[in-house]
Amino acid sequence: MASADIVRQMGESVRPLSLSGHVGFDSLPDQLVNKSTSQGFCFNILCVGETGIGKSTLMDTLFNTSFEGSQSTHYENRVKLKAQTYELQESTARLKLTIVNSVGFGDQINKEDSYKPIIDYTDAQFEAYLQEELKIKRSLHNYHDSRIHVCLYFISPTGHSLKSLDLVTMKKLDSKVNIIPVIAKADTIAKNELHKFKIKIMSELVSNGVQIYQFPIDDETVAKINSAMNGHLPFAVIGSTEEVKVGNKMVKARQYPWGVVQVENENHSDFVKLREMLVCVNMEDLREQTHTRHYELYRRCKLEEMGFKDTDPNNKPVSLQETYEAKRNEFLGDLQRKEEEMRQMFVMRVKEKESQLKEAERELQDKFEHLKKMHQEERKKLDEKKSVLDEEMSIFNKRKAATELLQGQAFQTAPQMNLKKDKDRKNY
């Protein structure tokens, strides 16, 4: 019997029983709490928005601290993702917080590909977790999970409508991360215009099919507050780390010539709502949604690209071993086919090279024969010239010998003639 059928039968045979006494597994929630408290938690926030819109200030205000960060300029030639991790502790809970800031977003003249570095970064975190998960020796219990749990998308307070860049970026991101849109610097827009702006934003998001994060209402303990908060999206927020004296107490606020805008005053901004929904109520749901929804979608698509499937063409379950063997055989088949193609190509190229070498050899042989023939003709001409020269030299030597002979005879007769003349002179 297949293992899947056994598990199915075991699931169908489960029946509830009543206990006659205390066992002790009701302490499991406490055990989980103690374990989680000792291990600590991680939470990763992606801040997407134009330079100078107040991302860093809002993070400082949100967590009541001052995060390290350098001021960005408006002259970045491309979008870069800058991640910084911090260790925070509140009471007995420890939180490893990672803030990822999109540096240079929206600063380029051509903003067509501004969203791509953000998509690449989120996919890279999913891929890193998947590679750790696929290892034979895994260590997920102490693995630093860098997957993005929430994206705070900062919208400029124009009061009109969303920019094309905002719609395109959120549409590309909604399947990879939980998006919570926030209207930054909400104190720059009138309250009645702000309400209309919120309605306009939500209408554009719905009409363009952008799926933003909805606070869960399936849990009865938080259903009422989350349902109410879903109606306040997007949150209009103000950030400030400066404290201003209002009445008898110091509050975080922005001081203007015409008055004071209090950050935590719900009549002035939705900052308190954002902090409560993001940190106090739904942080664990954001983490869970990241793992069960967005990461699982990435994992499924990635494994399907690699050829892994749960069912065969007949819709029957397929084990990982069967899939591996099928992919291995397919890979070996492709490898053998490519090897045969390379062998045939090698043989063809060797034949082409041989024919080229033979042709070159024939050309060299023809050239050699031509040069040899020319050499023989030149040698024949030289031999003819040599024979002529030898004949001329022989004639010259004969003439020279005759001339020397005549000169020798002349030298011999000259003394005799002189003696005869002397005799003749004496006789007279």
**pLDDT, tens digit, 9 for 90 and up, residues 207-235:** 999 999 999 988 888 889 999 998 888 99
* Higher per-residue pLDDT: 413 or 88: 88
Under the banding of pLDDT at 50, 70 and 90, the label for residue 2 is: very low
Range with lowest mean pLDDT among 123-132, 181-190, 251-260, 364-373: 251-260
For 390, the token pair is 């030898």
Answer yes or no: is pLDDT of 75 > 80: no
- CA-nearest of 273, 275, 249, 232 to 60 is 275
Average pLDDT of the chain is 85
Alpha helices by DSSP H, 49-159: 55-62, 116-133
Range with lowest mean pLDDT among 141-155, 208-222, 237-251, 396-410: 237-251
- CA-nearest of 133, 147, 155 to 55 is 155
- Taking residues 274-293, what's their average pLDDT? 92
Task: Please name every residue paired with 207 in a beta bridge, in sequence order, or none if there are none.
Answer: none
**pLDDT, tens digit, 9 for 90 and up, residues 343-394:** 999 999 999 999 999 999 999 999 999 999 999 999 999 999 999 999 999 9
Q: What is the pLDDT of residue 3?
A: 47
Q: What is the pLDDT of residue 295?
A: 93
For 391, the token pair is 């004949």
Superfamily holding 38-306: P-loop containing nucleotide triphosphate hydrolases (3.40.50.300)
> Are the beta carbons of 215 and 230 closer than 8 angstroms?
yes
Question: Domain limits of the chain?
Answer: 38-306, 316-394
CA dist 201 and 160 (Å) reads 9
For 77, the token pair is 């030639």
CA dist 235 and 200 (Å) reads 13
The rounded percent of the chain whose pLDDT value lies above 90 is 39
Helix (H) or strand (E) holding 106: none
CA dist 128 and 143 (Å) reads 10
Residues 6+ apart with CB under 8 A from 379: none
Under the banding of pLDDT at 50, 70 and 90, the label for residue 73 is: low
pTM of the prediction? Answer: 0.71
> Are the beta carbons of 281 and 225 closer than 8 angstroms?
yes
For 415, the token pair is 């003394």
The rounded percent of the chain whose pLDDT value lies above 70 is 90
- Taking residues 255-281, what's their average pLDDT? 85
**pLDDT, tens digit, 9 for 90 and up, residues 300-313:** 998 888 777 777 67
Instruction: Please report how the helices 191-207 and 164-173 are oriented relative to each other, as an axis angle in degrees rounded to 10.
Output: 50
> Are the beta carbons of 260 and 226 closer than 8 angstroms?
no
Burial 407-421 (b: 16+ CB within 10 A, else e): eeeeeeeeeeeeeee
Instruction: Please report how the helices 296-305 and 116-133 are oriented relative to each other, as an axis angle in degrees rounded to 10.
Output: 80
Answer yes or no: is pLDDT of 116 > 70: yes
Answer yes or no: is pLDDT of 11 > 70: no
Q: What is the pLDDT of residue 91?
A: 85
- Taking residues 22-42, what's their average pLDDT? 85
Under the banding of pLDDT at 50, 70 and 90, the label for residue 134 is: confident
CA dist 272 and 264 (Å) reads 6
Q: What is the pLDDT of residue 348?
A: 93
For 143, the token pair is 């693995």
For 272, the token pair is 């308190």
CA dist 114 and 103 (Å) reads 11
> Are the beta carbons of 177 and 206 closer than 8 angstroms?
no
Alpha helices by DSSP H, 137-190: 164-173
Q: What is the DSSP string of 360-389?
A: HHHHHHHHHHHHHHHHHHHHHHHHHHHHHH
- Taking residues 260-281, what's their average pLDDT? 86
> Are the beta carbons of 215 and 273 closer than 8 angstroms?
no
Residues 6+ apart with CB under 8 A from 298: 123, 126, 127, 130, 176
Torsion (CA) 270, 234, 162, 124 in degrees, nearest 10: 110
- Taking residues 96-101, what's their average pLDDT? 92
3-state percent breakdown (helix, strand, coil) of the chain, nearest 5: 55, 15, 30
Distance of CA 290 to the CA centre of its chain: 21
Q: How many C-beta atoms surround the C-beta of residue 338 within 10 A?
A: 10
Under the banding of pLDDT at 50, 70 and 90, the label for residue 161 is: confident
Q: What is the pLDDT of residue 33?
A: 83
